[in-house]
Structure 1
Amino acid sequence: MTPVLFFVKLLLAVPVAIVLSLTAIWYIWESDNTILYESFAQRMFSGIESYGLLAIPLFMLTGELMNEGGMTRRLINAARVFVGGFRGGLAYINLLANMFMAAIVGSAAAQIAVMSRAMVPAMEKEGYDRGFAAATTAAGGLLAPVIPPSMLFVIFGVLAQIPIGNMFLAGIIPGLILSACFAGVIALIGLRQQFPKGEWMVAREARRAVLYALPAMLIPAAIIGGIIGGIATPTESAAVASVVAFLLGWLLYRELKPAKLFEMFKRTALNAALIIFMIAAANVFGWVIIYEALPQRLAELITTITQNPFVFLLIVNLALLFVGMLIDGIAAIILVTPILLPIAIDSYGISPYQFGVVISLNLVLGLLTPPVGVGLYIASAMSETPTGRILGALWPFLLAVTGVLILLSYFPALSTALID
């Protein structure tokens, strides 16, 4: 009865956190276990009693401060210096700016919203198809879950009980590979459609653009450098980044007004609270799953099909593609990690870092695929472009992501090299 209730509530679009909580309560009621009843609130609280989770609201706040302080616009202008003169230069600028933003915002949906407003009108003005411009921007949002800091990595690290800093390191090489593949897609499409040729900035303009953006570039450099160098934890790096973003926007760029801080704090608190509540509810749900020995039962089933770790990851990828189409990436990773991670580690000897990178990239694909496709609809709304038109131009990027997923599944070293 409990599984039926779970899927019915999901199909009725009940918020995932409520679904997880009510399913756990229903199971406890059916089991008539008073000890589970008495421990329910304690288990919810213990699910969020993690220092690492503080990184989530802090990275969200950093993104808000950078957008409000004019740093996003300056990063886009700096990207023009490096790739603006190539054929299809504005598409490469879009991609490079998305790389900068991925190292700050950490949320694919937020990144797609910000970049769609900034890049799609500019690309259309220079002669690019609006559908391709929106598709390139939406695809760039897929860099957010693999280029650190990543919100999905923070959540996975907490659920898997592994160092979040190491999880960030695991995403660097996959993020660069994915960026290179996207650049290849843009180059091939550009040759076929003869994109407009960009113009290189004159030396004076280039120096000014880089100089103005240099302080903003220091924020992702400080985040990643602090973590890699062992100087700060991800949470401490996020706190420093938010302070630096505020000071730059207020004192240097003079576009951030202290009067707007309350609204930014409010938006950050509301968005972070949704995620934290899901994690708390998932802790109880995961507790029920472990109590029922579901991972062990599923492991017995899957190991009868294959003993090969690569084949196992292919099966997981295929299953999660469908999960990601129906459930938001954050909710999905909270749901599947307690079930699949023990199988990956115990039955197949897969590194938790490789597994985390693979499922994070896989699940975020759901942002751009119907029927849910939140990122697709965000890009459509922000760019005023029909979703069908975006999807028509998006498929080469989705094929590139599929290829990268297969590579990451076959070669563990792509995720673990910087950790080992």
Structure 2
Amino acid sequence: MTVGMSFVGLLMMGLPISLTLAVLALIYIVVSGNLVLLQSYPQQMFGGLESYGMLALPLFILLGEFMNAGGIGRRLMAFAMALLGPLRGGLAYVNLGANMMMASILGSTVAQITIMSRLAVPEMEKAGYPKDVSVAITAAGGLLAPIIPPSMMFIIFGVIAQVPIGDMFIAGILPGILIFVAFCGLIGWQAHRYDFPRSPRMSMQERIRAVVDAIPAALIPASIIVSILGGLATPTEAATIASLLAIMIGMFVYREMTAADIWPALVSAARGAAVVLFLIAAAQVFSWVITFENLPAKVAAYMQGLTDSPIIFLLLLNVLLLGLGMITDPIPAIILVVPVFLPVATDVYGIDPIHFGVVLCLNLTLGLVTPPVGTGLFTASLLSGVRAERIALLLAPFLIVAFAVILLIVFRPELTLALVRWF
């Protein structure tokens, strides 16, 4: 009870979630009277980072920095235009298609929305799309970043849950494609209902030029997916290979990146990774407290009293996660939820941990574009100048469609597990 009240109080005081988790462990030690546990406190905190898989996180962040500096995003946008541009509402499809390709490189919603707001929104405005609609489609495309591998959320879940990160990446492929196809269907309906403009037709020569120019950029996501699926590299090694490939393409193929750009990219990636890694270290200590409180066993007993059905358990968990995702960012939410509910899901209901992880991450992804926290929502609003409330309203159909896909995955676990078992 004291730990719970302290948690709420610290958050209300505005203390960052990472410091809140670290302080909670100290409060528990003092309240329980087991002061000898203070000797294990540093060990528990550093133990949270002693994972080879954790190296993938800063490396994928670094990959995004190199990609941005090398002009790769612009080439992927032109490639999507060559394939999807001639359709009614073509730029909306292009926006979504480019978002999917960027998701396979960045793995970060905020980074993706930031880049796509600069690339896609101005082009859609020039073509006659309302600005608020353009921003909403860009924000909706950002939902693909935590799903299409490499996903930062999958990396963090894999580390905390002790499941192979490569398997999580593979499990996210089909759900990501399903959400992309569902979004395309929604845009198709909106294009005819609201009479979206058609994009100017590109000549065959222009299309060929765009496709050829994008081939080096496409090698980056291809190298990640092929090396992991083929068993040639771990996610950490794949991130290293892709980062080196991004440097070579940016410097020697597109020639938009110089040696002077490498150091700022390293510094930016280090700062971004440090924030996440400290949060994970603090979470390890928090999980330690949860274990001593025997909270998973208490939650398991409570859930068993409610239902014996794994499906009902997942549906109830969906409601909890949607609410949690609205008030906190996904990474802290993963850290809070996984140590409590994963043992219940696997030991009591026999749910595969990979299926559980995909459902968990998909639910929390929706919170990225929903108020009152919605990091992706407010990023899009800040960059575009469109009110967050207006973007949220226009995003509602996309969120409904995404939630329908989540329900489909809940009832059909093979959508997440089939590729994992195949490979």
Contact 1:131 1:385 in 2 (8 A): yes
Cα distance between partner residues in 2 of 1:117 and 1:156: 30
Cα distance between partner residues in 1 of 2:341 and 2:160: 12
- Whether 1:61 and 2:73 are equivalent positions in the alignment is no
2:273 is matched with which residue? 272
Please identify, of 238-247 and 4-13, the stretch whose mean Cα deviation from structure 2 is larger. Answer: 4-13
1:168 is matched with which residue? 169
Cα distance between partner residues in 2 of 1:183 and 1:8: 44
Please identify, of 209-218 and 255-264, the stretch whose mean Cα deviation from structure 2 is larger. Answer: 255-264
Please identify, of 9-18 and 337-346, the stretch whose mean Cα deviation from structure 2 is larger. Answer: 9-18
Q: Cα offset for 1:260?
A: 2.0
Q: Cα offset for 1:11?
A: 2.6
2:137 is matched with which residue? 136
Cα distance between partner residues in 1 of 2:42 and 2:155: 23
1:300 is matched with which residue? 301
| Cα deviation digits, residues 230-251 of structure 1 (max 9, x gap) | 0000000000000000111011
Paired AA for residue 401 in structure 1: A
Paired AA for residue 356 in structure 1: G
Q: Cα offset for 1:104?
A: 0.3
2:153 is matched with which residue? 152
Paired AA for residue 49 in structure 1: E
1:53 is paired with a residue whose SS is helix
Contact 2:64 2:106 in 1 (8 A): yes
Q: Cα offset for 1:258?
A: 1.3
Please identify, of 165-174 and 384-393, the stretch whose mean Cα deviation from structure 2 is larger. Answer: 384-393
Percent identical pairs in the alignment equals 50
Please identify, of 4-13 and 140-149, the stretch whose mean Cα deviation from structure 2 is larger. Answer: 4-13
Cα distance between partner residues in 2 of 1:321 and 1:23: 25
Paired AA for residue 350 in structure 2: G
Cα distance between partner residues in 1 of 2:398 and 2:65: 27
| Cα deviation digits, residues 145-204 of structure 1 (max 9, x gap) | 111000000000011111110110000000000000100110111111011112332111
Q: Cα offset for 1:17?
A: 0.7
- Whether 1:356 and 2:324 are equivalent positions in the alignment is no
Cα distance between partner residues in 2 of 1:313 and 1:125: 44
Cα distance between partner residues in 2 of 1:364 and 1:28: 34
Contact 1:21 1:281 in 2 (8 A): yes
Contact 1:86 1:199 in 2 (8 A): no
Please identify, of 362-371 and 180-189, the stretch whose mean Cα deviation from structure 2 is larger. Answer: 362-371
**TM-score, normalised on structure 2?**
0.98
Q: Cα offset for 1:361?
A: 1.2
Please identify, of 273-282 and 364-373, the stretch whose mean Cα deviation from structure 2 is larger. Answer: 364-373
Cα distance between partner residues in 1 of 2:312 and 2:199: 44
Cα distance between partner residues in 1 of 2:265 and 2:336: 29
Q: Which runs of 5+ in 1 are unaligned?
A: none
2:120 is matched with which residue? 119
1:200 is matched with which residue? 201
| Cα deviation digits, residues 311-363 of structure 1 (max 9, x gap) | 11111111111111111111111111111111110111111111111111111
State how 1:10-409 maps to structure 2 within 5 Å: 10-409=11-410
Contact 2:53 2:236 in 1 (8 A): yes
| Cα deviation digits, residues 131-156 of structure 1 (max 9, x gap) | 11111110111111111000000000
Paired AA for residue 188 in structure 1: W
Cα distance between partner residues in 1 of 2:13 and 2:97: 39
Cα distance between partner residues in 2 of 1:26 and 1:195: 57
Contact 1:121 1:383 in 2 (8 A): no
| Cα deviation digits, residues 206-265 of structure 1 (max 9, x gap) | 111011110000100100110000000000000000000011101111111211222111
Paired AA for residue 239 in structure 2: A
Cα distance between partner residues in 2 of 1:309 and 1:128: 45
Paired AA for residue 39 in structure 2: E
Contact 1:43 1:283 in 2 (8 A): yes
**TM-score, normalised on structure 1?**
0.99
- Which contiguous aligned blocks of 4+ residues in structure 1 show a shift greater than 6 angstroms? none
Q: Cα offset for 1:13?
A: 2.7
Task: Indicate the RMSD between aligned Cα atoms, in angstroms.
Answer: 0.9
Q: Cα offset for 1:92?
A: 0.2
Paired AA for residue 97 in structure 1: A
Paired AA for residue 89 in structure 2: G
Paired AA for residue 396 in structure 1: P
1:82 is paired with a residue whose SS is helix
Cα distance between partner residues in 2 of 1:141 and 1:133: 13
Cα distance between partner residues in 2 of 1:417 and 1:188: 30
Contact 1:10 1:16 in 2 (8 A): yes
2:257 is paired with a residue whose SS is coil
